[in-house]
Structure 1
Amino acid sequence: MVQPQNKSEPQISAAPGDDVILPCRLDSEKDLRGFTVEWSKLEMEHDPFSFVYYAMGREIITEVMNPSFIQRVSLNPDGLKRGDVTLKIRKVTLQDEGTYRCFIPGLNHRETVHLVVDPNGVTAPTMETSPDPGGEQTNIWISRSRPALWISLGVFLSSIFSAVWIFQKRRQKKPLKKLDSVPGV
């Protein structure tokens, strides 16, 4: 597992297949739609396609982006209007683990964040209100669990409902005492 280069940089944990949000925001709500925005993975800097995301003004330049990210990354267009260039990476893989840098050259603004992808990670889903780079501000799952967790939950709930149903049926079938067998009747 790769460790963050700087202990103060944020760390995001995910399991393979999760969607992750890598935060990068200005202190102000400056409109960034006309600026160049670069997201790169530091471990790939020697690669000419080290950019995870690259946009000049309102145009995304895929020719300089790493092909494995092109269809999986996005920024929130509404966020750009408010100084937010948070990156969403869909369906992370083990190869996505590493340190990412957000850079806005025109403002000399940069931030780094470290992504850890745990191959055995089944993290409990955590709900947080956050701007989603694919749309408006919504409730999003920061860490999505693997299907096995959801299947286990379904089996557990089915077992509970089955046990309650069986208990109810047995209770209904209990024979009533016959009146002629009760003394004094």
Structure 2
Amino acid sequence: MLSIFIALLVNLFIETSVSFSVVVPRDQTVAHVGSTVTVPCWITPPENAEALEIRWYRHDQFSNPVLFYQHGKIQDVQEESYRNRTSLTLWSDQSGGLKDGDVSLRLEKLTVQDEGVFHCYVSGESTYGSEEIVLKVTEPGVAAAEPPLPLILDDGAAYEVREILDSRRRGGQLEYLVDWEGYGPEERSWVPRNDILNPNLLHTFHAAHPDRPAPRRGPRPSGAGHGGGGTVTDKPGSNTH
């Protein structure tokens, strides 16, 4: 009887200790006055967020949020200046939405007052997490930077990587979700591990996300990165499944 009781306690501890992390891109999000912008945020490891509490807020306005989702729907508690301008949305075409842990914010009719820090807060029964992301609002007529030309290697083109966002195993192969330097969120794509030329990218990602799928024993990818993020050989948006 004692062993059964101990086993039940162990199972209860395991169930209640399951946790997630809130993740946002490292770089600021940039959009024009009057436009609609997606402010990305998601939880990892991916899980269904429909039953979680999701709160987007600014500065110290936790109780007066930009958007408040609870009990499976967006609540009416909201900072007045954001009423009828916010919703939850997909951060990329590859996203599975709330069912896949995507809690990104859609903000319409941008004003200069929207510029600044946004907090993404997600809470479950036994765990919670929060991260902040900076929104930069530019005046109309300011041209966006053109995507950089690909770097040319002997066997094809390599593209600059801003950040590795996630990892997964698909068909026995380890893949990484890449945020490309000079391209928008819609161009993020999954690429095979062997296509990532800079091992520092992998080290940085797995140091920050030790719970995500990682390389098994075997040779590390070789080669050096170019610029701040490194390079991969796949074209941005070439693998969106």
Q: Could you tell me the TM-score, scaled by structure 1's length?
A: 0.57
Structure 1 residue runs without a partner (length 5+): 1-7, 132-185
Paired with 2:131 and 2:89, the residues of 1 have a C-alpha distance of 17
Aligned to 1:37: 54
Q: Which has the larger radius of gyration?
A: 1
Which of 107-116 and 92-101 deviates more?
107-116
Residue 74 in 1 paired to residue 87 in 2?
Answer: yes
Which protein is richer in strand relative to its size? 2
RMSD over aligned CA atoms reads: 2.6
Structure 2 residue runs without a partner (length 5+): 1-24, 91-95, 146-182, 189-241
Which of 100-109 and 115-124 deviates more?
115-124
**Structure 1 residue 128: Cα displacement:** 4.4
* Secondary structure of 1:109's aligned partner: strand
Which protein is richer in helix relative to its size? 1
Higher RCO (C-alpha under 8 Å, 6+ residues apart): 1
Aligned to 1:105: 123
Residue 122 in 1 paired to residue 142 in 2?
Answer: yes
Alignment identity in percent? 29
Deviations 1:159-185 (A, max 9, x none): xxxxxxxxxxxxxxxxxxxxxxxxxxx
Paired with 1:121 and 1:41, the residues of 2 have a C-alpha distance of 27
* Secondary structure of 1:84's aligned partner: coil
1:59 to 73, 89, 97: 73
**Structure 1 residue 38: Cα displacement:** 0.3
Q: Is the 8 A contact 1:10 1:112 kept in 2?
A: no
Paired with 1:15 and 1:121, the residues of 2 have a C-alpha distance of 8
In structure 2, the CA distance between the partners of 1:48 and 1:109, relative to structure 1 (3 Å rule), is closer
In structure 2, the CA distance between the partners of 1:47 and 1:36, relative to structure 1 (3 Å rule), is closer
**Structure 1 residue 36: Cα displacement:** 0.7
Q: Could you tell me the TM-score, scaled by structure 2's length?
A: 0.44
**Structure 1 residue 120: Cα displacement:** 5.4
* Secondary structure of 1:81's aligned partner: helix
**Structure 1 residue 86: Cα displacement:** 0.7
**Structure 1 residue 48: Cα displacement:** 5.1
**Structure 1 residue 123: Cα displacement:** 2.8
